[in-house]
Structure 1
Amino acid sequence: MRSPPLRISVNVAARQIHSLVPAPRPRRSFHLTTPASLPRKRNFFTSNPYLSSQPGGDDAKPYLYQNQGQGRDQDQPGAANASPVAKRKPTRATPTKNSLRRVAIIAQQPKRGSQGSPGIDAAEADPSNMVSATCIAEAFNMPVVLEILSSHGFAIDPDGTRFDAAEVVHARGVNGGDIFVFPSGTIVTWSLPPDVVTKQILRAAEEPHAEALREVEDLEFTTDNGRETSTLKGDVVVLGTRKEHKDGDFLDTTLAKIAFSSGLARSTKLAVLESALTSYFESTRNIPALLSQGTGVPLSRKFILQKTGELLSLRAKLNHYSELTDNLPDIFWDSKSELGLEGYYDQVGRALDVNVRIRALNQKMDYAQEIATVLREMSSEQHGTRLEWIIIVLIFVEVVFELRRIVIEYKEKALAKELGTEI
């Protein structure tokens, strides 16, 4: 037989030798848990200086970690020389340029009034591309307006619009800015700050408003040399200056400005009436609550008459004594239809919701009229009741005097009868 190969014999010999050598004992830890299973220290992987500080004493110092993901134990050499962790810088209180806090701060700032607002930068209040309307009085003395503007060097009607001075006065400054003064007490300026013009024309105002009651409305405007007609896109007036740029004819552009200015002046005048009606409601807001108590209203007859007169005056200013409810002002009746001035006027009215505001204002006045009617009726009833009590008192006094007369006559007759019997 063939002998087994040498490889098999070597394996058998290795098994025998391995069985004779004792196996090494497994290493065991002296503790129940191994170092890898110990809980992490408080300063492990943390950037909080309070969590990374050494416990046990006031002199404990926080430690920095040089490598992200590897913490140094306090027993390692060099750990005591580590630099302390610097405290975090506080969060910046100054808002960023586009933050919501900055938007809220800007929204809370007051609007630019007749004399400007200190909360708006000069760059933001640049009037070079702004149309500003300011209502400063109930009406203007137009001849005095012409005199004032001429005396200050403004060019009167420079483009030959030939409008009557009783309807609108157009003046232009040295810098090319336009001024339109309407008899309704409103000034509209293009590329000019309205404050300067307001101070100059205030002398021509009839029944001027207090500074707090003045209303100001602004619109932006731009020019388009490729358009012949103008339009209103959102809150931006686009003036078509093609003819002006090509032929040097400023008349069409000026007429468009007058149409837009008239619509803006109408909205500003309406805003004054809205503010006046709001003040009226504030002065009478407690009356419905007093009526609901059923104890009567302790208001004088003079107060009731004053409030009734104020309401009638507001209603007359809205519907009778102004052109607020007219579809088209009188100055545009004779204008050419191809100029489209009526359309410009209507665009401003639609953009500013003038018709809707007029309707809402009339509805509020109807409610105020109901309150005034109830007050007048109650005043009349109180006056009638007072007259009735006066009549009752007078009748009672007359009855007393009549009884006194009867008693005196009866006593005189009795006395005369006694004297007659004695005689």
Structure 2
Amino acid sequence: MQKRCIAGVTTDKTNNKKSARTAVDNSLRRIAAEAQHSRSRARKLMKGFGKRAHVDPEIATKDVKAYCSAETFNILRAQELIEGEGGIDADGVGVGPLKADPLNTGLFPQVLHVQTPPKKHGAAPGDIFIFPSGSVVTWNVPERLTYHLVHKILPSAAENGHLDRLEVEDLQYLEDPTRGNSRIVGDTIILGTGTDYESELPYDKTENDSSTQTTTETNGREVDMILTKIAFSSALARSAKLAVLEETLDQYFVSTREIPSTLSSGSQLRLTRSFVLRKTGELLNIRAQLNIYSELTDSLPDLFWDSPYELGLEGYYDIVSRGLDIGVRIKILNERMDYASEIASVLRERLSEKHSTGLEWLIIGLIALECGFGILHLWREREENVNPNSTKNLLQAWLEKELASSEK
């Protein structure tokens, strides 16, 4: 009896080892098959190799657009408007209030994330990111909803809005479930929505633990994907903001275009004091928005400092920034503003010179007036001296007569 029991135990242990080994083998085969499928799918998404690699033009992509419609947004007010008014869908039907930060990213108020309702045909919902810098970035959002949001809802939260100078940056994107990381190929963002298979090796766990972990991992991947989109969106919003400043500076040069040619021809500048002060203020405002009041010149926005390092959000931000030549554009914009500062300096010098000339002529006029009064006084004295009937001469003659009579 005892021997049979021991034999039975031995047999059970052997069976358990075989089952575990079989499970591991099956898992490894599944991982290998999925990896092979991933490489095959990746080859289908991409065409060419190396620098000639590009996204297959036959694959449908989605839109990601950045709009800069204001100098800044009151992000708390924007949240109230979004949650109170909502928007409209692609069919023009109201979708009601939208929930702010639905995945609890913890980045509010540095960025306001809103997720649109799923579309009728079952497609994934769109994402909207509103930045305090006055920019809105949309991912797979209907055009009518975007227009309603930018032109109807957010102006109430805008400070120094400029819908008349609305700037738009747009790219394409697609999702690749075979990749764990994201990248940019040409003008297309490839979002890696998959996971790294090395981290999926099997281990001993119960069914409930497996279900709980699967749910947690799914939610975690959704948050990670939103953070990845925020990284790309921050760079796009930065580019749209920079485009507004570039357009504003272009308008500044248009308004002062005649000044260099007028100076070179030797003609006199006919400028008012209000014009000079206005142009000086415009230039100072542009320079302040670029270098002081925004994060345009920062190498990394503050919202990325607390992000998980393994997500590589800084890398995504840098990739888009380099792809849109943001660093070069900032350098060129500052150089152009240096030239604009020279024009403003000439205007101020001309205004100061004009003011000094006016004061000099005023002083000359006062001196001339004083000289005129002096000459008039001398002329009147001479007239009195030569006129025998003048009061002075009559008084002098009377005094002489009285003195002569008193002596007698």
Is the counterpart of residue 208 in structure 1 residue 180 in structure 2? no
State the alpha-carbon separation in 2 of the partners of residues 331 and 419 from structure 1: 104
Counterpart in the other structure of 1:174: 117
Is the counterpart of residue 229 in structure 1 residue 162 in structure 2? no
Counterpart in the other structure of 1:338: 310
Counterpart in the other structure of 1:142: 75
Q: How much has 1:243 moved relative to structure 2?
A: 3.7
Counterpart of 1:288 (choices 238, 256, 260) is 260
Counterpart of 2:147 (choices 195, 201, 224) is 195
TM-score between both structures, scaled by the size of structure 1: 0.66
Counterpart in the other structure of 2:132: 183
Counterpart of 1:255 (choices 213, 227, 249) is 227
Deviations 1:187-234 (A, max 9, x none): 1111003213213322211211133x1001111001111111111111
**223-232 or 190-199, which moves further after superposition?**
190-199
Written as runs of structure 1 = structure 2, the 5 A alignment for 1:15-414 is 129-151=62-84, 152=86, 153-165=97-109, 167-175=110-118, 176-192=125-141, 193=143, 194-198=146-150, 199-211=152-164, 213-243=165-195, 247-248=217-218, 249-409=221-381, 411=384, 413-414=392-393
Query: Which residue identity does 1:169 align to in structure 2?
Result: L
| Secondary structure at the counterpart of residue 239 of structure 1 | strand
- Is contact 1:128-1:191 (8 Å) kept? no
State the alpha-carbon separation in 1 of the partners of residues 154 and 361 from structure 2: 58
Deviations 1:280-313 (A, max 9, x none): 1011111111101212211112211111111111
**412-421 or 326-335, which moves further after superposition?**
412-421
Where does structure 1 lack aligned partners over 5 or more consecutive residues?
1-126
Counterpart in the other structure of 1:85: none
Counterpart in the other structure of 1:73: none
Q: How much has 1:275 moved relative to structure 2?
A: 0.5
State the alpha-carbon separation in 2 of the partners of residues 415 and 384 from structure 1: 52
Deviations 1:138-165 (A, max 9, x none): 1111111111221223232222211132
Query: Which residue identity does 1:281 align to in structure 2?
Result: F
Query: Which residue identity does 1:203 align to in structure 2?
Result: S
Identical pairs, percent: 48
State the alpha-carbon separation in 1 of the partners of residues 80 and 265 from structure 2: 59
Deviations 1:46-101 (A, max 9, x none): xxxxxxxxxxxxxxxxxxxxxxxxxxxxxxxxxxxxxxxxxxxxxxxxxxxxxxxx
| Secondary structure at the counterpart of residue 180 of structure 2 | coil
Instruction: Note closer, same or farther for the CA distance 1:210–1:157 as it changes in structure 2 (3 Å cut).
Output: closer
Instruction: Note closer, same or farther for the CA distance 1:186–1:354 as it changes in structure 2 (3 Å cut).
Output: same
- Is contact 2:101-2:108 (8 Å) kept? no
State the alpha-carbon separation in 2 of the partners of residues 204 and 228 from structure 1: 37
Query: Which residue identity does 2:82 align to in structure 1?
Result: L
- Is contact 1:179-1:189 (8 Å) kept? yes
Query: Which residue identity does 2:157 align to in structure 1?
Result: A
Query: Which residue identity does 1:148 align to in structure 2?
Result: L
Q: How much has 1:408 moved relative to structure 2?
A: 3.9
Deviations 1:309-339 (A, max 9, x none): 1111111111111111010111111112221
State the alpha-carbon separation in 1 of the partners of residues 276 and 362 from structure 2: 23
Q: How much has 1:414 moved relative to structure 2?
A: 4.3
- Is contact 2:179-2:196 (8 Å) kept? no
Instruction: Note closer, same or farther for the CA distance 1:263–1:178 as it changes in structure 2 (3 Å cut).
Output: same
| Secondary structure at the counterpart of residue 300 of structure 2 | coil
| Secondary structure at the counterpart of residue 322 of structure 2 | helix
Where does structure 2 lack aligned partners over 5 or more consecutive residues?
1-59, 87-96, 119-124, 198-213, 385-390, 403-408
Instruction: Note closer, same or farther for the CA distance 1:418–1:291 as it changes in structure 2 (3 Å cut).
Output: farther
| Secondary structure at the counterpart of residue 250 of structure 1 | helix
Query: Which residue identity does 1:157 align to in structure 2?
Result: D
Q: Aligned Cα RMSD in Å?
A: 2.0
| Secondary structure at the counterpart of residue 181 of structure 1 | strand
State the alpha-carbon separation in 2 of the partners of residues 396 and 208 from structure 1: 55
How many equivalent pairs are there?
Answer: 295
Instruction: Note closer, same or farther for the CA distance 1:254–1:244 as it changes in structure 2 (3 Å cut).
Output: farther
- Is contact 1:244-1:253 (8 Å) kept? no
Instruction: Note closer, same or farther for the CA distance 1:217–1:244 as it changes in structure 2 (3 Å cut).
Output: farther
Q: How much has 1:341 moved relative to structure 2?
A: 0.8
Query: Which residue identity does 2:177 align to in structure 1?
Result: N
Hey, which of these two has a bigger chunk of helix by percent? 2
Q: How much has 1:366 moved relative to structure 2?
A: 0.7
Q: How much has 1:416 moved relative to structure 2?
A: 3.5
State the alpha-carbon separation in 1 of the partners of residues 242 and 393 from structure 2: 84
Structure whose CA Rg is larger: 1
TM-score between both structures, scaled by the size of structure 2: 0.69
State the alpha-carbon separation in 2 of the partners of residues 244 and 148 from structure 1: 39
- Is contact 2:172-2:188 (8 Å) kept? yes
